[in-house]
Structure 1
Amino acid sequence: MEVNFRKIDIDAYDEDVLLETELYDADPRAPSQVIEETKAKAVAVRSSLNKGDITGALVTILDNPPYGPGVDEAKNLTLQTLVTVLNSTKSSDIPNVVKSLPLESQDILMKYLYKGMAMPGWGDVSGSVLLGWHEKLTEVAGTGSIVRAMTDRRLV
């Protein structure tokens, strides 16, 4: 009996296999509920932007972001809405806006900045806008925000 050892799935024989579902608690909301909440947030963000409330728009969109499997539509809509907020902010206003965000929202913003940087040529994503926000966010939140964004297994 000849067996090609390179095609054997070693993880099938290992008891200590770490599954992705074991890395973090799943989002308790149903995917349909997540999508509806994201659509409602997008409307609220547009309303805040029309009033000139950039900080309020960011706090709204960064609150309870969608994560986990089955919510890709909500993730994309959240990213699109966030990019709209980022693009409509003057570069001179960015430091004050970032300082007014809570620490958790700063970390979530960092995750979205990296997600936007990973998608070149996607929609309204401008590398210079994302890098400008990244620079100002790093000045305010420090490198700890980068580490927390990179090590958190809940992908936005």
Structure 2
Amino acid sequence: MDTAFRKIDIDQYDEDVLHESELYDADPRDPAQVLEDAKQRQAAVRTALARSDVVGALSTILENAPYGPNVDQAKEITLHTLLTILNTTKSTEIPAVIKSLSQDSQDTLMKYLYKGMAMPGWGDISGSVLLGWHEKLTEIAGTGCIVRTMTDRRLV
């Protein structure tokens, strides 16, 4: 029995099909520039953490988060840098740090928390750290933060 017909992508013939590139505006920066920005922010975060400035480090890493295609390495650098911040922050400092963030930064933080939870074995970070941040972020930012994160097409 011939099953080759099952491998045909019928969406290619549909004029009304919605492509991922049409769901949101692509990052206007060049992928090489995005990678360089991620490396610079990583160095700035290390400096801020050395001064025990968690708020500054978190604000630095969450601004202009890389999204879209062809920036996978920048996304990985940003994720691992953010996980370092989360892992080194004391649990008693978390609410004050979250309150100091803007709503957009809180939403971006939630995206990274979910991305960290999606990693196999949760990577180099303890599950209790990610869940603790998620709990505190949900308490402060509300469930709207979760809804905005789940509906935003720009993946970090």
Superposed pair shares fold, TM > 0.5: yes
* Residue 151 of structure 2 is aligned to residue 151 of structure 1: yes
* Residue 117 of structure 2 is aligned to residue 117 of structure 1: yes
Q: Within 1, Cα distance between the matches of 2:4 and 2:36?
A: 50
* Residue 129 of structure 2 is aligned to residue 134 of structure 1: no
Q: Which residue of 1 aligns with 2:38?
A: 38
Q: Which residue of 2 aligns with 1:72?
A: 72
Return the letter of the residue paired with 1:41: R
Correspondence list, 1:40-55, <5 A: 40-55=40-55
Shift of 1:126: 1.8
Aligned length: 155
Return the letter of the residue paired with 2:96: N
Once the two structures are superposed, residues 5-56 of structure 1 have per-residue CA deviations (whole angstroms, 9 ceiling, x without a partner) of: 6444331332210000000001010011001110000000000000010000
Q: Within 2, Cα distance between the matches of 1:123 and 1:5?
A: 40
Contact 2:95-2:136 at 8 Å conserved across structures: yes
RMSD after superposition: 1.5
Q: Which residue of 1 aligns with 2:94?
A: 94
* Residue 60 of structure 2 is aligned to residue 60 of structure 1: yes
The change in CA–CA distance for 1:7 and 1:88 in structure 2 (over 3 A counts) is closer
* 1:121 partner SS: helix
Relative to the length of structure 1, the TM-score reads 0.94
Shift of 1:103: 0.4
Q: Which residue of 2 aligns with 1:23?
A: 23
Q: Structure 1: 5+ residue runs without aligned partners? A: none
Q: Within 1, Cα distance between the matches of 2:9 and 2:62?
A: 40
Return the letter of the residue paired with 1:47: T
Q: Structure 2: 5+ residue runs without aligned partners? A: none
Return the letter of the residue paired with 1:73: Q
Q: Within 2, Cα distance between the matches of 1:38 and 1:6?
A: 42
Moved more, 123-132 or 102-111: 123-132
Q: Within 2, Cα distance between the matches of 1:61 and 1:4?
A: 48
* Residue 103 of structure 2 is aligned to residue 106 of structure 1: no
Q: Within 2, Cα distance between the matches of 1:44 and 1:5?
A: 54
The change in CA–CA distance for 1:4 and 1:89 in structure 2 (over 3 A counts) is closer
Once the two structures are superposed, residues 83-136 of structure 1 have per-residue CA deviations (whole angstroms, 9 ceiling, x without a partner) of: 000000000110110001000000000000000000032542221100000000
Identity fraction in percent: 71
Shift of 1:80: 0.4
